[in-house]
Amino acid sequence: MWKKVLLITILLVVAGVSLLFGYLHMRQPATAPPLDIKIEMTPARIERGRYLFQFVSDCDGCHSERDLGRFGGPVVAAGRGKGFVFPAEMDLPGVVVASNITPDRETGIGDWTDGEKIRAIREGIGRDGRTLFPMMPYTYYRQMSDEDVFAVVAYMNTLTPVRNILPKTEINFPVSLLIKSAPQPAGSVPPPNRQDKLKYGEYLVTIGGCIECHSKRERGDLVPGMRLAGGMEFRTPFGVVISANITPDAETGLGRWTEKQFLDKFYEYKEYAEKGSPQVGPEGFTLMPWLGFSQLSTDELGAIFTYLKSQPAVRNAVETHPGQPKK
């Protein structure tokens, strides 16, 4: 009798799991048709897009060729937007590729419509309807205003086409099914209120990807109570780096920093950004986009600081370069 009950229970569990994975396999991500739009290419819009692409949202960080042997990984100009295959050292769930986003028609996105580009940036849906791996922070870019995403696309349309054949992203099972829940239609997003320092700081922190890198994750999900508290480990062929705690904790975060100290920290890298940065080893390797953020205005960096200081303090001591000599 008990053997029959056990057998039936096992069969029901197997059937339930099979149905669940069948559902996940067949389920399509939440999506909306791409906008039917042709972005007007004004000089002001293109310049705003360049600013967002290169400095605020750090699209270069993943999609451009970079000299990672130098501090801050400055972009190799001829390889801007050509794409990148993330190294095995990062222990990602499969082969993850930042696509070629130059206007090359064969290996880039030269045949994409502006609406398809907007949808990929803010909603995580490729031209072919596939779900983009959410290492691309579209769950945050979803809050990018209509005008700002139009500007990013306008700038992308001006990039020099680069022929660069890349493999396709191939995400391992079951992550390949689970990521289908990440995309969501963005709808229409109004511009941020730049006069509200706190709200504008929240906007910049969001589209700047600060939460993505400075919050510890386990199995792809944010660890509860660790938002902006650092501890995210990045393993690369150039070195291992762990993101810093940027909550207002007095001992382990930004609690004792003044706004001037915060701005000065970024602006000390202005010369590197403008004249070139030095070679570094593992002890100085960083993925933090210091070079790009050093180009932000005092108003914008001040707004970011205001927002970070308003967040809950989390005590979390972080050694950003484990095993390396202290600088």
pLDDT at position 324 is 84
Of 93, 111, 109, nearest in space to 101 by CA: 109
Q: What is the dihedral of CA 293, 295, 296, 302, to 10 degrees?
A: 80
For the chain, 327 residues long, the average pLDDT of each consecutive 10-residue run is: 52 43 59 96 98 98 97 97 96 96 98 98 96 96 98 98 97 94 96 97 97 88 93 94 98 98 98 96 95 98 98 97 80
Paired sense of beta strands 94-95 and 97-98, if any:
unpaired
At 231-244, the pLDDT tens digits run 999 999 999 999 99
Give the separation between CA 286 and CA 239, rounded to whole angstroms. 8
Task: Identify residue 100 by its one-letter amino acid code.
Answer: N
Give the separation between CA 172 and CA 160, rounded to whole angstroms. 33
Distances (CA, A) of 267 to 79, 231, 278: 26, 24, 16
The answer to whether the predicted template modeling score (pTM) of the entire model surpasses 0.85 is: yes
DSSP 85-117: EPPGGG--SEE-EE---SS-TTTSSTT--HHHH
pLDDT at position 327 is 58
Q: Three-state SS across 203-254?
A: HHHHHCCHHHHHECEECCEECCCCCCCECCEEEECCEEEECCCCCCCCCCCC
Of 214, 234, 230, 325, nearest in space to 280 by CA: 325
At 155-210, the pLDDT tens digits run 999 999 999 999 999 999 999 999 999 999 999 999 999 999 999 999 999 999 99
pLDDT at position 26 is 53
Q: What is the dihedral of CA 269, 283, 135, 40, to 10 degrees?
A: 20
- Which H or E run contains 82? none
CA–CA–CA angle 197, 199, 203 (5° rounding)? 110
Other Cβ atoms within 10 Å of 304 Cβ, number: 27
Give the separation between CA 231 and CA 253, rounded to whole angstroms. 12
Provide the 3-class DSSP secondary structure of residue 29. coil
pLDDT at position 296 is 98
Residue positions counted in the chain: 327
pLDDT at position 221 is 79
Longest dimension (CA), the chain: 80
pLDDT at position 23 is 43
pLDDT at position 4 is 54
pLDDT at position 2 is 58
Take residue 27 and report the two structure tokens written for it: 């389920």
